[in-house]
Amino acid sequence: MPTPRVSVLMAVRDGALYLDEAIRSVLDQTFTDFECIVVDDGSTDGTDAILQRYQRQDTRIRLSRSGGNGLSYALNHGLKLATGTYVARMDADDVSLAGRLAAQVRLMEERPEVGVCGTWIETFGMGRSTVYRNPADDATIRCALLFESVLAHPSVMIRRDLFANTGLLYDAAMLHAEDYDLWVRAAQYTSLANVPEVLLRYRLHPHQVVRKHEATKRETARRIRRRQLERLGIAPTAGEEALHESISSWDFADSREFVSAAHVWLLKLTEANRTTDVYPRIPFQRTVAERWWAICAASTHLGLWTLTTLRRSPLWGDMRLDWKQQVKFGVKCGIRKRQHA
């Protein structure tokens, strides 16, 4: 049997509710040169029956089982089974759009320096849908990783040989943020990219693992961010680390004190990077400036003080705001001043 170009890798535990739709979206891809490896991580519902049915229907489906040890173990097991040039992640509750694999293979073929490639995603299933337009270029992605993962895990395609040659695998100790940790480590070996197009629909539902373990995920992400801060030569105090967590999770406090403290911290990050050059300098300054803009935009209720603070910041020169954004922001600050006069 010829080696497929792509190995689609899915791990599932008790995913019978949405598994049919997820597998169908893989089999309906316009790019057809793939195998689909599904690792059943100890399911006790109807998952196995669904997988057996699809395996009988399509020879591209390969089934395997792991011992119920969790996502990292299941995915590492699947990576060892993969034979394709590229490995495309897929979750058992999401939906890949028909052109997803074709678009990612095309990017990876055209840009051999890229070892990890995600896509934009759109949420569905609970409430209003949201499109996440993560940065597409390597420099901005690696800078943004200091704050959060900007590679949507179920949308990612990786270059298998790169991971095999460097020993990159999921770290089971990075519970519920194993993907974030992997991208940070992968950035030391390869370029990162996102296809700037919605190619995966990310399902929101009450049974998601991430919803059940949100506190664990936050703690793991904090450890990943602290490790990056240390690479910058920063040993944050407890207060600084808490502030960085708030900025990273878009959880901005409603006060002048928070805005001022966030400003000091962001300036400290840019100065540390000027010294260490861990991140490409100009993209890093723009990434930090975008966070500063988001903080100020969420603080227009503080009136003209916010406008003055924004404009006087050294980060102002790294912002890329058009005149409409500036006018709208100024008007909002002015209105808040009048309301509290």
Q: What is the pTM of this model?
A: 0.94
211-250 per-position pLDDT tens digit: 667 899 999 999 999 999 999 999 999 999 999 999 999 9
Mean pLDDT of the chain: 95
Tell me: do 179 and 271 sit in the same domain: no
Confidence grade of residue 1 (pLDDT, cut at 50, 70, 90): low
Boundary (domain end) residue, out of 182, 212, 242: 212
Domain membership of residue 50 (yes or no) is yes
Tell me: do 248 and 201 sit in the same domain: no
Whole-number pLDDT of residue 209: 66
Share of the chain above pLDDT 70, in %: 97
Tell me: do 279 and 185 sit in the same domain: no
Whole-number pLDDT of residue 341: 44
Tell me: do 293 and 327 sit in the same domain: yes
Count: domains in the chain = 2
Tell me: do 188 and 317 sit in the same domain: no
Instruction: Identify any residues that bridge with 65 across adjacent strands, giving them in sequence order.
Output: 40
AA identity, residue 194? N
Tell me: do 109 and 240 sit in the same domain: no
Domain membership of residue 220 (yes or no) is no
Torsions phi, psi for 233 (to 5 deg): 85, 15
Per the structure, the complete domain to which residue 11 belongs is given by 6-212
- DSSP letter at 30 equals S
Boundary (domain end) residue, out of 162, 180, 212: 212
Which tokens hold the place of 45? 């519902």
Tell me: do 248 and 200 sit in the same domain: no
The three-state secondary structure class of 10 is: strand
99-128 per-position pLDDT tens digit: 999 999 999 999 999 999 999 999 999 888
Mean pLDDT of the region 59-83 = 94
Q: Which residue in 101, 60, 102, 103 sits closest to 83, CA to CA?
A: 60
Instruction: Identify any residues that bridge with 119 across adjacent strands, giving them in sequence order.
Output: 195
Whole-number pLDDT of residue 335: 82
Tell me: do 94 and 155 sit in the same domain: yes
